[in-house]
Amino acid sequence: MQAFDYVAPSSVQEAVAVLAKHGAAARVLAGGTDIIIQAREGRRDVAVMVDVKGIAEATQLTHNSDGSLRIGAATPCARIYNDAGIKQRFPALVDSASVIGSVQVQSRASLGGNLCNSGPAGDSIPTLIALGAVCEITGPGGSRTVPVEQFCTGPGRNVLQNGELLVALSFPAPAAKSGAAFQRFIPRNEMDIAVVNAAANVTLSADGQTFQSARIAIGAVAPTPLYVEAAGAALAGQPVNEVTIAKACAAAQAAAVPITDMRGTIEQRKHLVGVLVKRVVNTAVARARG
């Protein structure tokens, strides 16, 4: 591995100053499960590694009084899926956080790191999109927010500018009669990259028989994870039944633009989009109904 300097700032502003000073030569170390491997294999040039695990704002997990949730970008996945409040009110986050790497990896890996890696198959990103998560970003020019569905701009690329740091992810309070779920398809039981993944977040009528609204997201089928608004629109206002869900699946399949590679073919991925969207919508409905 190449030699690099190591910096462990204790505040967001200190981290931003280091990142701004060194530009593209500086890389954030949130968990290190991606960046260390990339540096070791020569796929990333790193002159300065900026470890943000010591920044309180980046590792806090806060349940707010209004029911919303804030997760620091460097909060380990294991802490997320073991949190009682998240298990109860945000189970789709448990679905995602518990499948990112191995158990050992999950003690270091974070949702923020997974998002900033910006892989088209990132297992947290469809869930973050479906839940309506918002990125809290701080840089030399101040702070800004970006919806997760607008964060990734291409494979391994995102909206972060020179000196900017993803500090946290914020989630709105779950609506009454709502539920969300995530699933993926992989050839092995663990430690594999998704051939396709998908997440759904639905809100039902008081009697649980009609979709009021829905957010559907899919991954590994385009240069970036996709927020498929058409799939959610196909559900909104419609009865909860197989015909309605099939329309959402078809909309998701139409939005997918996969490639054939060593993990799967175009045809397989298109088929899997329909399978997984149906599964996550049905699971989300079951959770919404309690």
Query: Quick check: 35 pLDDT over 90?
Result: no
CB 102 within 8 A of CB 191: yes
- Report if pTM > 0.75: yes
Mean pLDDT, residues 276-285: 98
Stretch 88-110: mean pLDDT = 94
Q: Which residues contact 243 (CB under 8 A, 6 or more apart)?
A: none
Gap between the Cα atoms of 264 and 75, Å rounded: 32
From the list 244, 232, 200, the residue with the least C-alpha distance to 218 is 200
Higher pLDDT, residue 103 or 172: 172
pLDDT value at residue 171: 98
Is the distance from CB of 268 to CB of 195 less than 8 angstroms? yes
**Residues in CB range of 86: below 8 A, 6 or more apart:** 61, 69, 80, 93, 94
Structure confidence by residue, pLDDT tens digits, 47-61: 889 999 999 999 999
Q: Which residue type occupies 130?
A: A
What would the two tokens of residue 45 be? 């040039």
pLDDT of residue 120: 97
pLDDT at 189: 67
pLDDT value of position 39 = 73
Whether the pLDDT of residue 244 is over 70: the answer is yes
Structural domains of the chain, ranges and CATH numbers in brackets: 5-171 (3.30.465.10), 178-288 (3.30.390.50)
Counting residues of the chain whose pLDDT is more than 70, the rounded percentage is 98
Supply the mean pLDDT for the chain: 95
Q: What is the pLDDT of residue 267?
A: 98
- pLDDT, tens digit, for every residue of 178-212? 999 999 999 876 668 999 999 999 999 999 999 99
DSSP secondary structure, 267-285, as one string: HHHHHHHHHHHHHHHHHHH
Residue 147's pLDDT band (cuts 50, 70, 90) = very high
Provide mean pLDDT across the span 137-153. Answer: 98
